Chains A and B, each alone.
Chain A
């Protein structure tokens, strides 16, 4: 098991998008789901908001009409590793491409008051940490972004967000955050239980034969 010491602290400038219900179609539109690869989605993150024209898979950022007002196009937010948003981020489609696009852009943590279930699950499998905070804490952070460029430091092991003297702790299941810290692979973990799965299956074939026809 390798320890990813670089993964223990996520810090830097916070990009913020002040809206609820950002669905995975907004994070990455359907067009880019035509890719059969697992990487290379950075130019398509928030495509509908980042550009003023319609994109196609394979067309890069440099060939597009950039919307200078969109936060990820502004310096220093174009280098952000942390995204702050509101309720129900990542709702809708199950596309893991949404997490791949965030990851490829360089986003390592998303802070929101809630997440879509499938997106939340997908995130941990790709080294992106979704952090759930109370609405009032989200309000506080948004207030700070109005005053200056907000910089945060997230400590994965302590499960806390540090902001100047202030620290906000967050809850995340240990087994989930361990996947990010140690880069664990689910298939490897599950296959250690191979015998149990075989035994279960054998019994099931006997008891519920119609499933296996």
Chain B
């Protein structure tokens, strides 16, 4: 009768308050430099300490330059304002004794990449972080969600989150996709179907034969972008693949791991669980997806024409007009007509080893197009970078003309120097094509690592079926 979300909710339910809200116990709290300073300040003002120190794991990721090289520390950051924020995280972690993978650590990286990779995200946990892409961790069967800074302070102070229960949605992906289609295409397609508010108020469970068939990393890409469908929680029931994945990352001793494993196997929706909404999608019909506008729901098959105001429903006309204008799209244009300036492979959506392998496979032995002024690959973490280098992927990329960088959020949001210049058009494996997201007046087209790699080589959106 219960969904996975219901079970995780009940498992962590401390008490119901007079207000009707619930206190949920939080197992893991990730912190980064951008949304934590004001929370620590609040904690200090109230003369409080973190409730349970070892629940907290911190790393700087948003502001960090990706051209660090060796002997780089927080003080080496040249942007004075970014430096203050990274140094502030160092200070707060030192003051309270919070474990941090700091800028000098070989394990530093994007918080949503390092959590699972270092074994800090394990099935059945409640996980929060002052970052909306915390939904990523739902891929391992966690109840994970992004929170605001006031809530970061609240979780530090009380180990609880004060929340009301979400509704349940089940999105079933069935069938086998085409070889050029990856989990990024699947989730972009879903967002195109239900819209960026389609999941608002819901926890989305992703299920179906497609989900069972893909890797844990592929599942993370899908849960990562649940928030782009409006759902702050995306989750997937753990299976043998999840347990194998966790086993390779885990720091738990064998006895504890085996004990946990038995519990993890129970973490799934009951056969007769009631969902408030169910969507079934046949993935065999999905083509590679590329966004054309300024919202992730403005997404098309890679070979389609960009909508004009004439072929748009009345209520959407204004949105289409504004987006076309911002994106510099004139007349009747196909996605494949657009010429690109930059390529970004990275972000918490697509910077894991499998993403890099997929892109490297395509660029191997080729050279980026002459109109691409810069193509960068930013591994999600120090460990991803090391693994990729061990496999020679860095060489594959640099031989093709890509720049190989140090880990961080980088050009997903351009808080560090990795930004688009005004009007530059970028093929990006990140998650948001909002106005100015990658740099002032920059133009972002979201796509998979496979399609970004093709675009780098082609200069325009290539047809993977022809190349």
Contact = CB atoms under 8 A, between A and B. Distances in A.
**10 A-B pairs with least C-beta separation:** A175-B19, A96-B148, A36-B37, A122-B148, A94-B146, A54-B440, A88-B197, A94-B132, A125-B150, A210-B260
Contacts of A1: none
A116 B415 contact: no
Given A175-B20, A208-B124, A210-B256, A88 B150 contact: no
B201 A21 contact: no
Interface of B: 14-15, 17, 19-21, 23, 25, 27-28, 34-35, 37-38, 41-42, 46, 48, 51-52, 54, 62-63, 79, 81-82, 84-85, 88, 122, 124-125, 130-132, 146-151, 153-154, 157-160, 162, 164, 196-197, 200-201, 227-228, 230-232, 251-252, 256-257, 259-260, 263, 295, 297, 316, 318-319, 322, 413-415, 422, 432, 434-437, 440-441
Contact of A36 (B14, B88, B122): B88
Nearest to A194: B158
Contacts of B413: 25, 30
Given A37-B38, A91-B196, A117-B232, A197 B147 contact: no
A73 interface: no
6 contacts: A25-B434, A26-B434, A37-B38, A99-B148, A190-B162, A210-B256
A210 B415 contact: no
Contact of B251 (A25, A34, A115, A213): A213
A43 interface: no
A96 B35 contact: yes
Contacts of A209: 256, 259
Interface in A1-40: 18-21, 23, 25-26, 29-31, 33-38
Contact of B25 (A38, A91, A95, A197): A197
A121 interface: yes
Interface of A: 18-21, 23, 25-26, 29-31, 33-38, 48, 54, 57-58, 87-88, 91-97, 99, 114-118, 121-122, 125-126, 173-175, 178, 186-187, 189-191, 193-194, 196-197, 200-201, 204, 208-213
Given A38-B41, A174-B19, A175-B20, A122 B63 contact: no
A97 B39 CA distance: 12
Which has the most chain B C-beta neighbours within 10 Å: A95, A115, A117, A209? A117
Given A91-B196, A175-B19, A186-B162, A96 B150 contact: yes
Contacts of A34: 34, 63, 79, 81-82, 84-85, 415
Nearest to B150: A125
A48 B436 contact: yes
**Interface residues of B, dominant DSSP:** loop
Given A18-B318, A58-B81, A196-B15, A94 B38 contact: no
A23 B227 CA distance: 12
A20 B42 CA distance: 34
Contacts of A190: 23, 154, 157-158, 160, 162
Contacts, number: 194
Contacts of B79: 34
A197 to B, nearest CB: 6
A126 B150 CA distance: 9
Contacts of A92: 132, 227-228, 432, 434
Contacts of B232: 117-118
Nearest to A200: B14
A173 B20 contact: yes
A162 B319 CA distance: 29
Given A19-B322, A94-B131, A209-B256, 16 more contacts: A21-B295, A23-B434, A25-B436, A34-B82, A36-B37, A36-B88, A91-B197, A93-B132, A94-B35, A94-B146, A96-B130, A122-B150, A125-B148, A187-B48, A190-B154, A193-B23
B182 to A, nearest CB: 23
Nearest to B125: A211
Contacts of B28: 211
Contacts of A194: 158
A31 B415 contact: yes
Nearest to A120: B200
Contacts of A57: 81
B148 A121 contact: yes
Contact of B17 (A87, A94, A189): A189
A121 B63 contact: no
A26 to B, nearest CB: 6
Nearest to B156: A187
B130 A94 contact: yes
A51 B82 CA distance: 23
B30 to A, nearest CB: 12
B440 A48 contact: yes
Nearest to B431: A92
A186 B132 contact: no
B150 A114 contact: no
